[in-house]
Amino acid sequence: MRFENPAGLSGSLVWNTRYCEANRNGAVWNPEDAVVTGLLRRWDTETKTLLVLRVEQLREWLCEQVRE
């Protein structure tokens, strides 16, 4: 599916379904194989790119919030 204007997708999770890895290894894919890899931050209209916060950065930020 192609989105001409993905504005409003901020806050959506970015997933690696791991389907390709499972398929390449001859395994049967299962939805439980999927992992979250990031969080969409914003749509940059100038460069027409989605900016994503990596899950490692999000996890670090969340841990800092808990410590405070």
What's the confidence (pLDDT) of residue 28? 96
pLDDT (tens digit per residue) in 24-67? 999 999 999 999 999 999 888 888 888 999 999 988 988 999 88
What's the confidence (pLDDT) of residue 25? 95
Are 50 and 43 spatial neighbours (Cβ–Cβ below 8 Å)? yes
